Each structure stands twice: as structure tokens, then as C-alpha cells.
Amino acid sequence: METLAFLAYVLYLAIIVGGGFVAVTNPNLVRALIGLVAAMFGVAGMYFLMNAPFVGLMQLLIYVGAISVLIFFAIMLTRPPAGGEERATSRRRPLAFVAAATPVVLLGAVCLRAFKQTVDVPAETGIKELGQGLLGTYGLAFELISVVLLVAMAGAVLLGFKRREEA
């Protein structure tokens, strides 16, 4: 990896780790959401760095544009009257650390040993090839994800209805 790319990588990694740390530890949920958005921007930068601009743009559109707004709605609709703070959780932290560190160490060892990198500079795949794959080889997955999105939307609307006798 060249020096400039490595510098960009370190910058994006710092954004990801910093944002993710804020997202999981800040007791204020709105600040946690801002951290999550920062981490998503870092991941989009990683996509651009590995020569996948289409996925990077989709990351910005879907995650930063849509999902963060959904989570913001969830925060606003559930905010308790006395501020949206979570109570301090000191007892669970060590257990949570163990639960997170174990799979990371195991999978890190696997990644370090098992996967061999063969391509130095990732080749660019045009949107044309992606579209052909989406409608040709992987058409079933494309149709299935649209059905999943439709069902999720219908289910959310159904769950959101208040029953008339309750209201």
C-alpha cells in the first residue's frame, strides 16, 4: 500500500473507531447516533479507498441518509420525559468487554492466517457489470431483497396501527 493510501486508511480507521466508541459508550443517545453516523462515513471512505465507489455512494445514501433518520425517529419517539440518558452501567462493562474481545481475537487470528491477498491494487468494476450481475446471475437475490423490504414495510405499518378499542 502506498504511503498516501495508508495515511487515508489511518484517518478513516480513526474516524471509524472514534465514532464507534462514542456510539456504544455515550449515555446520551443522540450523541451516540452522531458517533454512528461518523463511523458510517468512515466505512464509506474505506469503500472509496478499495476502489468500490458505487458501494461507497450507496453506503452514504442508505446508511447515512436513511437509516440514521430512522434511528433518530426511534430516539425521539421513545425519549422519556427526564432526558434521554441511559443509566450508568458499570457492572456489565467487564462482561461486555469479554463478550466482544473473544470473537474479535478468534476471527482476527483466522483472518491473519487463512486469507492470502493476491491482488495488490483492486481493479475497478463498473456499474455496468454490477447491473448485469444484479439482473442476471444474482437476480434471485435482487428479487428476494425487494420482497423482504416490502414485507418489512407492510409489517411496520401493521404494527404501527392502534387497535380501535384501545384508542
Partner 1 sequence: MNSLFLFHLAGLALLGLGLFGLVQRKTLVGMLISVELLLNGAGLSIVASAKLTPADDVLGQLSSLLIMGLAAAEATLVLAIILVVLRRFGSVETDTIATLRD
Considering only residues 49 through 78, tell me which ones interact with partner 1, judged by CB under 8 A. Answer: 50-52, 54-55, 58-59, 62-63, 66-67, 70-71, 73-75, 77-78
Interface with partner 1, residue 138, by CB under 8 A: yes
Cα 144 from Cα 84, distance rounded (Å): 37
Between residues 4 and 137, which has the closer beta carbon with respect to partner 1? Answer: 137
Nearest partner of 160 among 92, 81, 97, 73, judged by Cα: 73
Q: How far is the CB of 164 from partner 1 (least distance, A)?
A: 14
Interface with partner 1, residue 149, by CB under 8 A: yes
Q: How far is the CB of 65 from partner 1 (least distance, A)?
A: 10
Cα 148 from Cα 142, distance rounded (Å): 10
Nearest partner of 32 among 44, 21, 47, judged by Cα: 21
Q: Figure out which of the listed residues 7, 11, 57, 134 binds partner 1, where binding follows CB under 8 A.
A: 134
Interface with partner 1, residue 101, by CB under 8 A: yes
Longest Cα separation, the chain: 66
In this structure, what C-alpha cell is assigned to residue 81? Answer: 420525559
Number of residues that bind partner 1 (CB under 8 A): 84
Nearest partner of 39 among 58, 61, 56, 22, judged by Cα: 22
Q: How far is the CB of 102 from partner 1 (least distance, A)?
A: 9
Interface with partner 1, residue 46, by CB under 8 A: yes
Nearest partner of 29 among 93, 85, 78, judged by Cα: 85
Q: How far is the CB of 75 from partner 1 (least distance, A)?
A: 5
